[in-house]
Amino acid sequence: MRIKNWIVGTALTISMLPVGLNAQTRKIFTVKANELKAKIEPTMWGVFFEDINMGADGGIYAELVKNRSFEFYKPLMGWTVAQPNEGDLLVLNRKAENSVNPRYLQVTANNPAKGKLSMTNEGFRGMGIRNGLDFNFSVMYRQAAPGMKLHAELLNSKGEVIGSTELAPSKTGSEWNKQNISFKSTGADQKGSFRIWFDGKGKIDLDMISLFPGNTWKNRPGGLRVDMVQLLADMKPGFIRFPGGCIVEGHDLTTRYQWKKTIGPIEERQLIVNRWNTEFAHRPAPDYYQTFGLGFFEYFQLCDDIGAQPLPILNTGMACQFNTAEVVPLDELGPYVQDALDLIEFANGDVSSKWGKIRSDMGHAKPFNLKMMGVGNENWGPQYIERLTIFEKAIKVKYPDFKLIFSSGTDPDGARFDLLNTELRKMKADFIDEHYYRRPEWFLANAKRYDNYERNGSKVFAGEYAAQSDKTVSIDNKNNWQTAIAEAAFLTGLERNADVVQMASYAPLFAHVDGWQWTPDMIWVDNTRSYGTPNYYVQKLFSLNKGTNVVPVLVNNQTVTGQDGYYASACIDKKTNSYIIKIVNTSEKSQDATISLEGIKKLQSKGMVTTLTGSNLEQVNSLDNPKDVSPVEKNIIVKNQKVNLTLAPHTFYVVKVTSL
């Protein structure tokens, strides 16, 4: 609301000025509508996913119980237990029988008084509980004889019960069984918890104590948080890059991401520490683990659900070079390469193939149509080249058309970048992954970055970008309008060079307001709510207005790359016969402007302008005011293939007109 008033206010002020006082001459943006340039790939605007900032566990993966399998370094982390006698609740280990999920809890009861023998889980910075929602409680157990009952209770932050049920394990014997029950909440809380108390007499072993809200994405049991997926789906991303980021590399090679350990039955996915757990002394997260409830199958499924191409990134035999920089000897690289080959079979293989069958058994007989893969994230140096060369050879021999993406290191310039950029281009790499975490000024200055890039060689994947209002890894970085408008300006440069840059994604994607390690981030959440930042809306507007081919847009016969603070790009969408013109005014001045489409006979008389701006450059969105900076759509008149506009200061415009 505030934004709309500001725009209207600005427009009025300008139009009420006596003629002559609006001293600036009208700026003419000429669109060469019949000069079709680069094809814009359907993958152009995508999403980068990493389990950082509680993005997966505690975030999009909707499990509410933290440390459900007692495998954190402190087995009862996240749990508070109450027991009448020492040892009524015991953590035991069955390593020989089950090396991936060895610990479990043994409960011994002798008719304790109501509520006296209990365990309470605090969730991930509390549990978000909505009123009247179904919750699914499930547990794995084994018992010699029935005799105990589990009373499950949702608690609000005052400790009052806001939903309860009972579960009486029925099976006996030495095998583990799974039982579940659904119940409804009767109250709401952002910071709830979950208690189980026991009554009866006997002994029972418990593991995988789990609680999910019933309203997961597509109502899948054990699924994803619906509001967070919806924000992604709304962007219609061309691809999802997963699972990161540095998480691919691991602190050392034992904590690298290994996709094969993230598929199959949930209780057989061995959790590991999340490398962001200890990364920043100023943002410690000792309880941050990767349970892999969101594993590679689920990532592929998510891509399938929202029409995005999957883009997995695999470890190249090198741990994070900021941490241990551990490398696997070249003669031991075989299993890493095999993981890559097997992943292609897992995604695309026929159900008669080994990995295709595993995918099919997990519920997806149809291939996922994987076309590309990244090998290495932010790796650098000659040891990286040596390793990726081995990957490339093995993959291309078997899958010649499969596209491979290689990293150009941590920065978009400097010695590491120069070495890799030169070597990878010599190798004719399909894609080079460039990362930019820079100040807004860098983004403005680099809107021209690709105008003179080598056009016929390797393509660029702008795999991680985010303007930093302070500096990289500073906790003071804000997702403010200044960063977002600088990104909008930069993205016009990517779009104009869509023959060179064929994919782009902001990073990181998600952050929990109580559990983040890295800022800025595209989407922020608490336990029940989520919102898109101004940066989200910038990327979303590019993605929803992608077009099929670039067309030139010129001012004074020149591309618009920062002159007077203006940036612009334009494209045609051949599917709808529309022209989409993006103009970013980063200046402090209002400007009367005309968009003139040349080389086209007739346009519909009504078009649409979408405006994105903030009331000032510091403006941010928040959980309470999620849409302060969000797109506002308005119809505009199109006459003689022209559109007149007053371009307000610090504003991003997307203008869409359609042929008759």
Cβ 274 to ligand AHR shortest distance, Å:
11
30/519 with CB nearer ligand AHR: 519
Query: Which positions from 461 through 490 interact with ligand AHR, judged by CB under 6 A?
Result: 464
Query: Which positions from 498 through 557 interact with ligand AHR, judged by CB under 6 A?
Result: 507-508, 518
What's the distance, Cα to Cα, between the start and end of the chain in Å? 34
Using CB under 6 A as the binding criterion, the count of chain residues that bind ligand AHR stands at 12
Cβ 507 to ligand AHR shortest distance, Å:
4
62/507 with CB nearer ligand AHR: 507
Q: Beta strands 272-273 and 289-290: pairing type? A: antiparallel
Cβ 463 to ligand AHR shortest distance, Å:
8
Residue 251 phi/psi, 5-degree rounding, is -65, -45
518/524 with CB nearer ligand AHR: 518
Cβ 194 to ligand AHR shortest distance, Å:
31
Q: Which two tokens stand for residue 197?
A: 């108390």
511/538 with CB nearer ligand AHR: 511
Q: Residues 523-541, buried b or exposed e (16+ Cβ, 10 A)?
A: bbbbbbebbbbbbbbbbbb
Give the DSSP letter of residue 216: B
C-alpha to C-alpha distance for 6 and 74, rounded to whole angstroms: 54
Cβ 410 to ligand AHR shortest distance, Å:
6
Q: Which two tokens stand for residue 126?
A: 């509390």
x/- binding map, residues 369-408, to ligand AHR, per CB under 6 A?
--------xx------------------------------
Cβ 246 to ligand AHR shortest distance, Å:
4
C-alpha to C-alpha distance for 303 and 307, rounded to whole angstroms: 6
Residue 368: name the closest of 306, 312, 303 by CA.
303
Taking the CA atoms of 629, 632, 637 and 639 in sequence, report the sign of the dihedral they define: positive
464/487 with CB nearer ligand AHR: 464
50/392 with CB nearer ligand AHR: 50
- Tell me which residue has tokens 């090198």: 318
Cβ 180 to ligand AHR shortest distance, Å:
35
x/- binding map, residues 212-251, to ligand AHR, per CB under 6 A?
--------------------------------xxx-----
Q: Check 50, 153, 249, 378 and give the catalytic one.
A: 378
Of the candidates 27, 40, 46, 50, which one interacts with ligand AHR according to CB under 6 A? 50
79/461 with CB nearer ligand AHR: 461
Region of residue 406 (left: phi > 0; alpha: psi -120 to 50; beta: else) = beta
Taking the C-alpha atoms of 196, 198, 204 and 207 in order, what is their torsion angle to the nearest 10 degrees?
0
Q: Which residues contact 25 (CB under 8 A, 6 or more apart)?
A: none
What's the burial of 496, exposed, middle or buried (CB within 10 Å: 0-12/13-18/19+)? Answer: buried
SS3 of 556, please? Answer: coil
Nearest residue (beta carbon) to ligand AHR: 245
248/553 with CB nearer ligand AHR: 248
C-alpha to C-alpha distance for 182 and 137, rounded to whole angstroms: 6
Count the neighbouring beta carbons within 10 Å of the beta carbon of residue 108. Answer: 18
Q: Which residues contact 376 (CB under 8 A, 6 or more apart)?
A: 248, 249, 313, 314, 315, 316, 318, 384, 387, 388, 406, 407
Q: Residue by residue, what is the 3-state secondary structure of 408-432?
A: CCCCCCCHHHHHHHHHHHHCCCCEE
SS3 of 565, please? Answer: helix
Q: Which two tokens stand for residue 242?
A: 């997963």
β-strand partners of 161: 155
Cβ 626 to ligand AHR shortest distance, Å:
22
Q: Which residues contact 527 (CB under 8 A, 6 or more apart)?
A: 123, 124, 125, 126, 127, 128, 190, 191
Q: Among this protein's residues, is 378 annotated catalytic? A: yes
Q: Is 51 in the site for ligand AHR (CB under 6 A)?
A: no
136/483 with CB nearer ligand AHR: 483
β-strand partners of 81: 119
508/515 with CB nearer ligand AHR: 508
| Type of residue at 277 | N
Cβ 401 to ligand AHR shortest distance, Å:
27
C-alpha to C-alpha distance for 209 and 266, rounded to whole angstroms: 12
Q: Are 398 and 367 in contact (CB under 8 A)?
A: no
Cβ 323 to ligand AHR shortest distance, Å:
12
Q: Tell me which residues are annotated as active site.
A: 378
Q: For binding to ligand AHR (CB under 6 A), which residues are involved?
A: 50, 52, 244-246, 377-378, 410, 464, 507-508, 518
